[in-house]
Chain A
């Protein structure tokens, strides 16, 4: 009898109804409540001061990397470019902002040339090592310089922040998501 009772309990335990993920949900990680993105003032690749206030009213993809990166950054930027093409005319309300972690090599000119390989509308930001360190601290971004052969590489955070039109950090997209996931989340923010 005791065994039968145990079997019945097991059956009942297994029969818990599954909840279904809500349709139209973000593919990226959501912050609740969202916080205002910390402002910065960097040297933009367009020759002007780069700050987030310039893009108030637009949805911003904010990523960190460097032009000599061979592993993560080209994939991330290619994904952004693909997502922008898929968005069509709506892409005009989206701005990609790419902040370097490598101020030694990433001059505005070099960064501009690098970003133009993916999409000429992407804007890059550089500054002094101290300025960039403060920005990374404000955003919880890691960047560790590692000697490699006769030069060096950076081990850096690979995620992307999605900022809404009001400049709030709404979501974080981990590395590895495809363009369709970005399009999904950008459209959700654009529709607000």
Chain B
């Protein structure tokens, strides 16, 4: 009975295709970020590593909601401007990013998990990254 109960979710996470309600992974610079930065506050608006998956969540969306231009990720963005960058190739991308102390931002784009084992592995990675 226990084996059946364990096999059912394992089967589900290996067989059911990976999908997401939106392809977009959104990051935003909130209003007032520049003022807080000028007041000496250390603010991280983007993580050092961003994880995307081809065919699932493969569009990086950056939004500048602050009152001043910001170098956000790879580009200079005006106040109120959005930038949507699609990824079609699984790879690790390095972008210069002045928002980070290292001066670099890494975007890891995973391939679409097409096989049962890849789906288990993908779901496990997602779980670990959220912990």
Contacts and interface: CB of A to CB of B under 8 A. Distances in A.
Contacts of B18: 18
Contact of B84 (A11, A32, A157): A32
B86 A25 contact: yes
B77 to A, nearest CB: 8
Nearest to B12: A11
Interface string A1-38: 00100110011001111110100011111111101000
Interface of A: 3, 6-7, 10-11, 14-19, 21, 25-33, 35, 139-140, 142, 157, 159, 172, 174, 176
Given A31-B83, A32-B81, 6 more contacts: A14-B17, A15-B19, A16-B21, A19-B22, A140-B71, A157-B96
Interface string B1-21: 000010011001100111111
B82 interface: yes
9 contacts: A7-B8, A15-B19, A16-B20, A19-B21, A28-B85, A29-B86, A32-B82, A172-B74, A172-B75
B16 A11 contact: yes
B76 to A, nearest CB: 2
A27 B88 CA distance: 8
A7 B8 CA distance: 7
Contacts of A7: 5, 8-9, 12
Given A16-B19, A25-B86, A140 B76 contact: yes
Nearest to A161: B75
Nearest to B82: A32
A35 B86 contact: no
Interface string B70-111: 010011111011111110100001011010000000000000
Contacts of A31: 77, 81-83
B74 A159 contact: yes
Given A18-B55, A21-B86, A159-B75, A33 B22 contact: no
Contacts of B75: 29, 140, 159, 172
Contact of A14 (B13, B88, B96): B13
Contacts of B83: 29-32, 172
B82 A10 contact: no
A169 to B, nearest CB: 9
Contact of B17 (A18, A19, A159): A18
Contacts of B20: 16, 18-19
A29 B12 contact: no
